[in-house]
Structure 1
């Protein structure tokens, strides 16, 4: 791929928009499905849980969340208007019955009251957080006591091998995010390491090492 094409991929991954963004989002959901399902599993969702997802993409995986237990309610927050609109279109039935809703936010402040959510997840978004410590503090604020947040990301060493990764990406490993989170009074922090074979955004088959970091309030 040309340098221009690689830069376009990086831009769309950080904030998908327009027709190209919809295509990237579709591919992201396919390649990220394993990460998404394992992250959902790590939350151990229960009846009547309130769930928040940060950076949900096209949210085609929403039914996987809702079927985990009875009467789950879901909120998705996005910085991308294209993803919000596409998610509402793909999940119109659960939006219509008020079981789920999608909102735009500024990527920093979570527009909900303290102790509101039981579970929070975010998959492959942390690279683009403008203020990581601030957003982790916001996550802590809106979690209920004993609530859980699971954040999944591809590991730093793997990300460095991808041709489209540029200065827009802040790369992480488990120790880096734990060091960040230790500034916040989470009750526990657990790292779960995984590896899978996927097609990268540039079309190559790669072994992706990723981590799910599970925070408990």
Structure 2
């Protein structure tokens, strides 16, 4: 990170983005997180009538990528940052207007959806900040449909060889950065089955998959 980016991240608060710095940070995240998101979405076998949820939707680019892959599906996003909800809606304005996309201010601690509602759920670069990861995963499991699939996506993991910037970021922002085995245990304890931990050669990326 250069000095400007560090300043923007600190001022914008990646845990709960706000203000002008938060808006600039979220725009950068839309670009920076795009490659790992594209990779992870390849583990979804989308059906056109799927209901899909993005938890911690940030700047809205993951929702945009999912929406482009589907014609008749409903794509929902949740974030507990008011700014993230606003910018995600702006980023997906035409789909929000048509009703294809809905974005709600809510926390993973209590998702405002019925049991067994979503065929696909994803969270990209937000699991680091979940307030109680083990309990929160049980809430995700609750709203995931039977035979549904859930993906946790991050561009670093606890087994990767992190550089100085990565280590500084983990420490400064108190990121929850599980090892690959810890991802497996967390998903198992929440009730998920057929768990797969995907990695990409030459990258620090992880996509932890749990099914119901």
Q: TM-score, normalised on structure 1?
A: 0.86
Partner in structure 2 of residue 9 of structure 1: 9
Separation in structure 2 between the aligned mates of residue 125 and residue 182 of structure 1, nearest angstrom: 20
Separation in structure 2 between the aligned mates of residue 46 and residue 2 of structure 1, nearest angstrom: 41
Q: How far does the alpha carbon of each residue in 1:109-141 deviate from its partner, in whole angstroms, 9 at most, with x for none?
A: 111010100000011111101111111101111
Separation in structure 1 between the aligned mates of residue 32 and residue 2 of structure 2, nearest angstrom: 22
Equivalent residue for 1:184, pick from 184, 190, 212: 190
| Greater RCO (CA < 8 Å, at least 6 residues apart) | 1
**Quick one: structure 1 residues 129 and 34, their matched pair in 2 at CA, closer, same or farther if it must change by over 3 Å?**
same
Partner in structure 1 of residue 204 of structure 2: 209
Instruction: Report the alpha carbon displacement of residue 63 of structure 1 after superposing the two structures with TM.
Output: 3.2
Q: How far does the alpha carbon of each residue in 1:158-210 deviate from its partner, in whole angstroms, 9 at most, with x for none?
A: 557322332521111211111112213222100110256xxxxxxxxxxx501
Check conservation: 2:8, 2:25, Cα contact below 8 A: no
Check conservation: 1:123, 1:151, Cα contact below 8 A: yes
Partner in structure 1 of residue 179 of structure 2: 173
CA RMSD, Structure 1 to Structure 2 (Å): 2.2
Partner in structure 1 of residue 199 of structure 2: 193
Where does the alignment leave 5 or more consecutive residues of structure 1 unmatched?
A: 197-207
SS of the residue corresponding to residue 14 of structure 2 reads: helix
Higher strand fraction (1 or 2): 1
SS of the residue corresponding to residue 169 of structure 1 reads: coil
Check conservation: 1:159, 1:165, Cα contact below 8 A: no
Separation in structure 1 between the aligned mates of residue 193 and residue 42 of structure 2, nearest angstrom: 20
Partner in structure 2 of residue 142 of structure 1: 143
Separation in structure 2 between the aligned mates of residue 77 and residue 112 of structure 1, nearest angstrom: 11
Count, aligned residues: 206
SS of the residue corresponding to residue 42 of structure 1 reads: coil
Q: In the alignment, is residue 94 of structure 1 matched against residue 95 of structure 2? A: yes
SS of the residue corresponding to residue 189 of structure 1 reads: strand
Partner in structure 2 of residue 28 of structure 1: 29
Where does the alignment leave 5 or more consecutive residues of structure 2 unmatched?
A: none
